[in-house]
Amino acid sequence: MQQGYDYAAVEGRPDQLVIESWVGAPSQCLPETADWTFTRSVRDFAKKFAK
């Protein structure tokens, strides 16, 4: 999320969005409704930055 905010702050306009993680956190992928899961992070990012 922080990278999204930082990019938006400089008025970045991406051609595409690729969301992937190479770190071991968060430790769970599902469900998308639970706090601190990868799928929830993707969902929150898309709601905020993918227009």
Q: Do the Cβ atoms of 19 and 45 come closer than 8 Å?
A: yes
pLDDT per residue, tens digit, the chain (51 aa), is 888 899 999 999 999 989 888 887 778 888 989 988 889 989 999 999 987
pLDDT on residue 1: 85
The tokens describing 14, both together, are 């991406």
Q: Which phi and psi angles does 24 have, rounded to 5°?
A: -85, 15
